[in-house]
Structure 1
């Protein structure tokens, strides 16, 4: 399963609009994300070694936990 590189995972929080990077990871892991609309970091769920994002796509929404050097943990939430 493809893994978001450490550098990319670290940069997600620094990017102005991370929705495209997170949507690409979601797609690489076999989920459908048509026309990503937004990605919001969940500060309460994120930690020093992982970032949790809510990704809203045209067809679905996902909770995505990005952990360096590992596949993302993806949960569809709608």
Structure 2
């Protein structure tokens, strides 16, 4: 058995595992702290899935005043309307058209 080859392969596997762990941990921390913003297209798809119109999303900004722990609120600006979208875990989003 070639010990040099075994050590090299083991080190490569360990480094790959450490990289994956750090990457996944960073993503989990970012998600837990709210650093990952849902893209405007994702919010627009949710609005459309719930029967409202948003064919051309322009922007999405977090509504910190309406957000609560585990319930992020967003203002989604579409070409023809603006919506407040509140994302609630394991439930449909709460969507209200903003005049």
Larger radius of gyration: 2
Q: Which aligned runs of 4 or more in structure 1 are off by greater than 2 angstroms?
A: 10-13
- Two-structure CA RMSD over aligned residues (Å): 2.0
Which residue does 1:34 correspond to in 2?
A: 55
Pick from 62, 70, 73 the counterpart of residue 49 of structure 1.
70
Q: TM-score, normalised by structure 2?
A: 0.62
Q: C-alpha separation between the residues in 1 aligned to 2:43 and 2:68? A: 17
Gaps of 5+ in 2: 1-30
Pick from 33, 36, 41 the counterpart of residue 20 of structure 1.
41
Q: C-alpha separation between the residues in 2 aligned to 1:13 and 1:36? A: 21
> How many residue pairs are counted as aligned between the two chains?
68
Gaps of 5+ in 1: 1-9
Pick from 67, 72, 76 the counterpart of residue 88 of structure 2.
67
State the 1:13 CA deviation. Answer: 5.2
State the 1:48 CA deviation. Answer: 1.4
Q: TM-score, normalised by structure 1?
A: 0.77
